[in-house]
Amino acid sequence: MKESVISQEDAAAETSRRRILPSGWALIPYISAITVLLLSINQLFNIGFFVNYTFLSNQYSYIIAGFLLPLIFLLWPAFSGSPKRSVPIYDAILAVVMMGICFYFAAISEQILDEGWEYAAPDQAIYMSYLFWALIFECTRRAGGTAIFVIVVVVSFYPLVADVMPGPISGAAATLSDTAIFHTMSSESVLGIPLRAFTNLVIGFLVFGVALQYTGGGKFFIDFSFALLGHVRGGPAKVAIFSSGLMGSMSGSVITNVLTTGVLSIPAMRRVGFSRAYAGGVEACASTGGVLMPPIMGATAFIMATFLEIPYIDIAIAAIIPSALYFFGLFIQIDAYAAKNDLKGLPKAELPSIRKTLKEGWHFIAVFAVLVWLLIFLKQESVAPFYATGLLILINQIFPYSRWGWKELKQFIHGTASLFAELAGILCGVGLIVGALALTGMSGTIANDLIFLAGGNPLILLLMGALTSFILGIGMTVTAAYIFLAISLAPAVISAGLDPLAVHLFILYWGMLSFITPPVALGAFAAATIAGAKPMETGVEAMKLGSIIYFIPFFFVLNPALILQGEWSEILKVVGTAMIGIWLIASALQGYLAWVGKLDIHPQGKWFIRAAILIAGLALAMPGGGLVPIEDIQLKILAVMLAVPAIIIVLFTNKKSSTIRNA
C-alpha cells in the first residue's frame, strides 16, 4: 500500500485544533519534549547531570514551563481561521517572549526566595510578572478553551476587588502589582500545587500513556476485548466497556478514549442492532469510567495526592471499588438491554483469536503488572512509570510486528510534546485560581461561609458540592474544577466529619459527570459524531446508561468502607450489598432482571414493578446510619419487602405468559 504523504500525527492535527508545523519549526517540539524528559529524569532519579548543582524547586518549575509553554503558541493557532500549516510572526514572537520570561525567572529564582519577591519585588520583576500573567491567560485560552479562560481571568483578578464584594465572598484586597508578583513568584499560584504535581508526578505517567498508545496498546485492548466478549449477547457494547476502561485508564482523557476505541466499538454495536444514539451513549459512559479506573487515573488523581499529602497509590487503591461498581452497573444495564431486545453477539469466526492476541500483546499486561508492583509494593510512584515505559519500549523493539522505526519514534516524541504542553498550559491557568484564593484569604474562610449557608448540615453540603462540581465541570476541565472545589468546598465537608479521601473522590466523580450529562455532554457528543447520531439524543442515552455514577459517590462518601477504609469484614459486607443493590438498580432502569425476565409485565403496572426494584436497590446499596437518618438494618428490610414481592409477581406473570404462548 502506498504510504500517505501526511503522517499520523499530521492527520490527527488536521482533525484537531493543533497546527501542523512546517519544516524547521517542526524540530522544536522534539527538542522540548526530550529536554523536559531528561530534566525530569535527572530531578526524580537524582542522577546529577549538572555536576555540583541542584535545581531549586521554583527554578525547576520555571525551566519546565520555559520549554513547554512556548509550544502552545506554536502548536495551537490563535483562532479557528488562523493558518494550520505555517507559524505567523506574532506566534513566533509570543513563543520567544514566553521562553525568555520563564528563563528570566529561573535565573533569579534564588533571589526570589531569599528576598521574598512574591511580596515586594523590584520594578523590572513586576513588569515581567505582568507580561507572564498575560501570556498565561493566552496559553490557557488556546490549550483549554474559552470557558476556562474566562473563569481564570475573572478569578485571577479577584484580589483587586475582594474587599468590596458581599460577605461570603469577600476577602483581603491587593494592588495590581502585588497580585501580579504573587501569581508569578509565590509557591501558591502558577508555581503551586497543579504545576508541582505535574513536574513531580504527572510527567512520567503521561509518557507511559503515550508509549502504550504508540506501541499498539490501544489495539491490543480492543482485540483482547473482542476476543473475550465479542460473541456474547450485546457483545460489542460489552467490548466497549472493557476496552474503554483499560484504554481510558492509561490515557486519562475521555475525548481521546472515545475517539480511539469508539471508531471500532460503535460500528460493531450498530451491526448487532444497537441504535446509533445508544451505541454512542455506551462508548461515552465507558470512556468516562475509564478515567476513574486505576492504576492511571489522569492528572487529577496526582494533584489529589499532592493536596491530601498522601501517596498516589493510596488514591488508586481507594478508587478500585467505586470504579468497579460503576463498570458493573454499566455491564448489567447493557446485558439487560441486549436480553430485552434479543441482541446477539458477533460471529466467532469474525473475531480475533485470543491465543494470537495474547501472543502478540502479552507484554502490555506484563508491563501493567510491573507498574502496579512498583507502585504498591516498592512505593516508587514518582519513578515507576519511567521504569515501566523503558521496559515497554524495550520489549516492543524485540517483536518485528510492532517494532518502532524512526518514523514511529518521532510520532511518540511529538505526541508526548503536545500532551505535555497542553496540560502545562491548563495547569498554569488553574494555578492562577489557586493563587487568587490564597492571596485574598478566601481559601481559609470560604469553608466556614459554606458551612453557614448549609446550616451546618453535611448532607446539604454534599448536595451543594455535587451540584457545584457538575456545573464547574461543564465550563472547566475536570482538573480545574477539582482544584477549585478542593480548596473551597472540600474543607467544609471534611470539617463535618467525613473522610477526606472520600470527599476528594466525591468531587472528582461529580466533575466527571459533565462528560455524559446534557446540555454539554462532551464525551457523548464526541461519540455521537462517530455514531452519526443526534448529539443531544446521545447525551440523554449516556445519562440514562451512566446513571449509577450519580449515586456511587454518595455511597462511598457516606461509608468509606467502599474506598477500602475500615475493617475487612465491614468492607466485604458493604461491597457485597452494594453490588446486589447496583444489580437491581441497573436492571430496573432497563426493565430486565437476569434469571427473572422482562419487568414490563403490564402497560401501567410495569412502572410500579420497576420503581419497587429500583428503590430496593438503592436501599441495599445506600449505607445506613451516621448521616443517613435510617439505620442500615431498616434499609435492608425495606429492600427485601420491596424486591421479593415484585420479583415473585414478575416470575409468576412471565411463567403464565410463557405457558399461554406454548399452549
Q: pLDDT band at residue 254, thresholds of 50, 70 and 90?
A: confident
* DSSP summary character for residue 514: G
Instruction: Report the predicted TM-score, pTM, of the whole model to 2 decimal places.
Output: 0.85
Angle formed by the axes of helices 57-75 and 89-107, nearest 10°:
180
State residue 8's pLDDT score: 39
Cell numbers of 207, please? Answer: 509518557
Highest-scoring range by mean pLDDT, 180-184, 346-350, 358-362, 481-485: 180-184
Are 184 and 132 in contact, with CB atoms under 8 Å apart? Answer: yes
State residue 14's pLDDT score: 40
Return the higher-pLDDT residue of 466 and 181. Answer: 181
Whether residue 462 is predicted with pLDDT greater than 70 in this model: the reply is yes
State residue 12's pLDDT score: 43
Are 392 and 208 in contact, with CB atoms under 8 Å apart? Answer: yes
State residue 614's pLDDT score: 94
Longest distance between any two alpha carbons in the chain, whole Å: 95
State residue 133's pLDDT score: 96
Return the higher-pLDDT residue of 563 and 451. Answer: 563
State residue 508's pLDDT score: 87
User: What pLDDT, in 10s, does the model give residues 8-31?
Assistant: 344 344 445 788 888 888 899 999
Burial group, residue 232, by CB count within 10 angstroms (0-12, 13-18, 19+): middle
Task: Let me know how many helices (H) and strands (E) the chain has, helices first.
Answer: 31, 2
Of 327, 314, 318, which is closest to residue 288 (Cα–Cα)?
A: 327
State how far the Cα of 123 lies from the Cα of 129, in Å rounded to an integer: 10
State residue 659's pLDDT score: 73
State how far the Cα of 249 lies from the Cα of 315, in Å rounded to an integer: 14
Report the C-alpha dihedral over residues 418, 421, 427, 432, rounded to 10 degrees.
-140
Angle formed by the axes of helices 146-156 and 406-440, nearest 10°:
30
Task: Kindly report the number of other CB atoms within 10 A of residue 601's CB atom.
Answer: 18
Q: Which of 12-21, 153-162, 173-182, 183-192 has the lowest mean pLDDT?
A: 12-21
Whether residue 507 is predicted with pLDDT greater than 50 in this model: the reply is yes
Whether residue 157 is predicted with pLDDT greater than 90 in this model: the reply is yes
Task: Kindly report the number of other CB atoms within 10 A of residue 629's CB atom.
Answer: 9
Return the higher-pLDDT residue of 393 and 148. Answer: 393
Q: pLDDT band at residue 322, thresholds of 50, 70 and 90?
A: very high
Q: pLDDT band at residue 443, thresholds of 50, 70 and 90?
A: low
Q: For the chain, how far is it from start to end, CA to CA, in angstroms?
A: 61
State residue 663's pLDDT score: 59
Helix (H) or strand (E) holding 612: helix 606-621
Of 573, 549, 430, 561, which is closest to residue 501 (Cα–Cα)?
A: 561
Burial group, residue 390, by CB count within 10 angstroms (0-12, 13-18, 19+): middle
State residue 9's pLDDT score: 42
Angle formed by the axes of helices 320-340 and 548-558, nearest 10°:
150
Of 182, 174, 63, which is closest to residue 117 (Cα–Cα)?
A: 182
State residue 638's pLDDT score: 95
User: What pLDDT, in 10s, does the model give residues 198-234?
Assistant: 888 889 888 988 898 888 888 888 899 899 998 999 8
Cell numbers of 204, please? Answer: 512520567
Cβ neighbours of residue 166 closer than 8 Å, sequence gap 6 or more: none
User: What pLDDT, in 10s, does the model give residues 68-122?
Assistant: 999 999 999 988 777 677 899 999 999 999 999 999 999 999 999 999 898 889 9
What percent of the chain lies above the pLDDT cut of 70?
93
Q: pLDDT band at residue 288, thresholds of 50, 70 and 90?
A: confident
Are 537 and 552 in contact, with CB atoms under 8 Å apart? Answer: no
Q: Which of 183-187, 200-204, 269-273, 536-540 has the lowest mean pLDDT?
A: 200-204
Whether residue 2 is predicted with pLDDT greater than 80 in this model: the reply is no
Return the higher-pLDDT residue of 225 and 7. Answer: 225
Q: Which of 410-419, 444-453, 457-466 has the lowest mean pLDDT?
A: 444-453
Q: pLDDT band at residue 661, thresholds of 50, 70 and 90?
A: low
State how far the Cα of 213 lies from the Cα of 219, in Å rounded to an integer: 8
State how far the Cα of 470 lies from the Cα of 474, in Å rounded to an integer: 7
User: What are phi and psi for residue 593, nearest 5 degrees?
Assistant: -115, 120
Whether residue 51 is predicted with pLDDT greater than 70 in this model: the reply is no
Q: What average pLDDT is seen over the chain?
A: 86
Of 353, 351, 336, which is closest to residue 230 (Cα–Cα)?
A: 351
Q: pLDDT band at residue 250, thresholds of 50, 70 and 90?
A: low
Task: Kindly report the number of other CB atoms within 10 A of residue 201's CB atom.
Answer: 21
State residue 476's pLDDT score: 67
Q: pLDDT band at residue 546, thresholds of 50, 70 and 90?
A: confident
Give bridge partners of residue 598 from the DSSP assignment.
592
User: What pLDDT, in 10s, does the model give residues 123-152?
Assistant: 999 999 999 999 999 999 998 888 889 989
